[in-house]
Structure 1
Amino acid sequence: MANRHLSRSIVLQTLFEWDFSPLGENKGKKSGDPEKIKQALIRNLKEFAPGLEDDAFVSNLLDQILKKQAMIDEIIEATAPDWPIDKISIVDRNILRIGLTELLFGDRKEVPPKVAINEAIELAKTFGGENSGKFVNGVLGAVYKEIGEPGKEHQKEHPIISNRKKDSNSSKEPVDIAKLPVEKKGAALVYAQKNNKENGKIMFALVHDVFGYWTISKGGIEEEESEENATVREIKKEIGLDIKIEAKLGENEYVAAHPSKGKSLKKVVYFLAHSEYKELELEESGGLDGARWFEMAKVPELRIYNDIIPLIAKAVEILSKK
């Protein structure tokens, strides 16, 4: 139904404003002023869809998303455990919020699950990045598979929804980071000189994730294993390079949620490393879909996570002094 597709587009536009501007509060995870958000919706309806007959659908969908947002975001993080909600692009995370709201809380007679998924994929293809459709399809498909098809005996609630209902009469304590299990990872920004050492251009090896970002290759550090040895092994495993670590670039940590293991604190240490220039061999992975060498001068043009940019800048500074 064309009107419904337009309606979802209007909701996405409003959510984008809410997520990007002071309509909300904290990046990625917001509450914001409901009245200001509704005013933005009314403005967008007048500007982009004057005379839309299905404005009740638009209002109800937005209300549901805002009411269920915390739970929906928890489901997104559980389904894509390596990526906190604020690392997913604004467009993609709000398309997921629309799709999951319709999939989990909508009227299935009015909007069947497969229609909700397909509509979200179309929004991703229209408004998202090159890999947005694939990513949205993966997340919604995983949730759909978990809850089962409507009308069948194995249909069930998503476990996060069930847990929320169990906890509804009790106050939920904030996560105590000190009590979370720790997962250590080693990462290396690998550089090489193409052609020869005297005149060759410096190249960086980067990996591309399903969220559409270029980032630094990394892997797990086992207990009692040195950060350097683990990083050398994991880079060889992930992109097929034999590296020599030259400097430490920094550290980062974040909380991630796994659907079966629960929440954990991930600590990543980043190194600058050198290798010979050779073709990259990307390990098959659900989170990565590409690996390439880039000239150092071209890296600023890429779509890169904000917390990775200072690490690359530090690497460039180190290399410029050689």
Structure 2
Amino acid sequence: MSLEESEKRLADYAKEFGARESDMSFMKQLLHTVAAKQKEIDEVIVRAAPEWPIEKIAAIDRNVLRLGLAELLYADRTQVPAKVAINEAIELAKTFGSNSSGRFVNGVLGAVYIELGEPGKSEGAARKKAAQKTGKMPTEHLAGAVVYAQSGGETYLAFVHDIFGHWTISKGKIEENEDVQKGAAREIKEEMGLDIKIVEELGVNEYIANDSKVDGGKKRKRVTYFLAEAPFTELRLGPSGGLDDAQWFPLSAVGDLNFYDDTLKIIIPAINVLAQKGKK
């Protein structure tokens, strides 16, 4: 079915079920997103539900997942919070699918939500209260770096791409008793094949993550980010799980990339530092 035919069918269904005219713009945008990103969305479904070949998933469940993932991965989270997208998909599956559809959709979208770092969970007073109780939680230390290089008079930044369609900062777990800067350098070498020189620290990001292997089912993750310089050489993506690409981007093109909000909070200061260096 072509996109034009899909739009016509959407309009027919909207009329039949009495959808508000004010909702049509959002519904059309969601349809366009699913159509444009179907390949990437289906790859996420395959990774989140490896025991279910996508062609074997019931049509209703498969398409509800596509809608839910389109909102979860690509929608403006200020307009469609992650948990709202998941709950709406679950309700659709319960209404139009089988008795097990709601549980299946919940399982797949829940797995993706956790992999994304549970976006939106940190908002509000409830998260602040939880943060005050993290003293007894195990802490996992990670480190990463915004890596830059100079070539032909231009500045380039290196990023890795995850299976959920976002470019992000290369990072990884710090080993026990390992120096955090040395750990960051090791992770960048393993993940992108680059030898880096740490320039300065950019900041620290802390968040709570689910982990069924620890008491209480939760742990605190503390990520230290650095700005680092490297030679402008070919990137070699390592065997890290959840990543499918690594590329250099000219500084002028970075603004067009799809980043997570918390990643931008680290990248923007890095760009500001590089801009100041360029003025000297």
Q: Report the TM-score range of the alignment, normalised by the length of the smaller protein.
A: 0.5 to 0.7
The one-letter code sitting in structure 1 at the alignment partner of 2:227 is L
Is the 1:185–1:220 contact (alpha carbons within 8 Å) kept by the matching residues of 2?
A: yes
Cα distance in 1 between the residues matched to 2:71 and 2:274? 40
2-structure distance, mates of 1:21, 1:291: 25
- Please say if 1:231 is aligned against 2:184: yes
| Partner in structure 2 of residue 285 of structure 1 | 240
Q: Distance in 2 between matches of 1:18 and 1:271?
A: 29
Q: Cα gap change, 1:210/1:286 in structure 2, threshold over 3 Å: closer, same or farther? A: same
Question: In the alignment, is the contact (CA less than 8 A) between 1:83 and 1:256 conserved in 2?
Answer: no
Instruction: Describe how 1:51-66 pairs up with structure 2 within 5 A.
Output: 59-61=95-97
C-alpha spacing 1:194/1:255, structure 2 compared with 1 (3 Å):
same
Are 2:271 and 1:316 equivalent residues in the alignment? yes
**Alpha-carbon distance in structure 2 between the residues aligned to 1:238 and 1:221:** 14
Shift, 1:252, TM fit: 1.1
Structure 1 match to 2:18: none
Q: 1:33 to 1:290 in 2, by over 3 A?
A: closer
- Cα offset, 1:269, TM superposition: 1.0
Q: Give the structure 2 partner of residue 213 of structure 1.
A: 166
Q: Shift in Å at residue 257 of structure 1? A: 2.6
Aligned-partner Cα distance in 2 for 1:217–1:210: 14
Partner of 1:141: none
**What is the total number of aligned residue pairs between the two structures?**
207
TM-score (norm 1): 0.52
Assess if the C-alpha contact under 8 Å between 2:71 and 2:80 holds in 1. Answer: no
Structure 1 residue 70 displacement after superposition? 11
Q: 1:10 to 1:299 in 2, by over 3 A?
A: same
Of 76, 83, 87, which residue of structure 2 is paired with 1:29?
A: 83
Please list the CA deviations of residues 44-82 of structure 1 after superposition, one character each: whole Å capped at 9, or x if unmatched.
Answer: xxxxxxxxxxxxx8725399777x5997379616xx865
* 1:305 paired residue number: 260
For 1:83, the aligned partner's letter is L
One of 84, 88, 113 as aligned partner of 2:117: 84
- What is the root-mean-square deviation in Å for CA atoms of aligned residues? 4.1
Distance of 2:158 and 2:72 partners within structure 1:
36
Give 1:303 deviation, angstroms.
1.1
Deviation of the 1:192 alpha carbon: 0.3
On the 8 A contact 1:241/1:280 being kept in 2, the answer is yes
Q: 1:224 to 1:213 in 2, by over 3 A?
A: same
Matches within 5 A, 1:1-322: 5=59, 9=63, 13=67, 27-30=81-84, 59-61=95-97, 72=107, 76=111, 82-86=115-119, 176-195=133-152, 200-261=153-214, 262-322=217-277
Aligned to 1:164: none
Q: Structure 1 residues 245 and 72 mapped into 2: Cα distance closer, same or farther (>3 Å)?
A: same
Query: 1:265: Cα distance to partner?
Result: 1.3
Which 5+ residue runs of structure 1 have no aligned equivalent? Answer: 42-56, 88-173
Kindly tell me: are residues 33 and 319 of structure 1, through their superposed partners in 2, closer, same or farther at Cα, counting changes over 3 Å? closer
Structure 1 letter corresponding to 2:83: K
1:187 maps to amino acid: G
Residue deviations 1:232-283 (CA, integer Å, cap 9, x gap): 1221222111111112211112222345444321111111111111111211
The whole-number CA distance in structure 2 between the counterparts of 1:206 and 1:61 is 39
Q: 8 Å contact 1:7–1:58 — kept in the other structure?
A: no
* Conservation of the 8 A alpha-carbon contact between 2:118 and 2:209: no
Relative to structure 1, the CA distance from residue 296 to residue 21 in structure 2 (aligned partners, 3 Å threshold; closer, same or farther) is closer
Aligned CA distance change for structure 1 residues 307 and 269 (closer, same or farther; 3 Å):
same
Question: 2:94 touches 2:101 (CA, 8 Å); kept in 1?
Answer: no
Structure with higher Rg: it is: 1
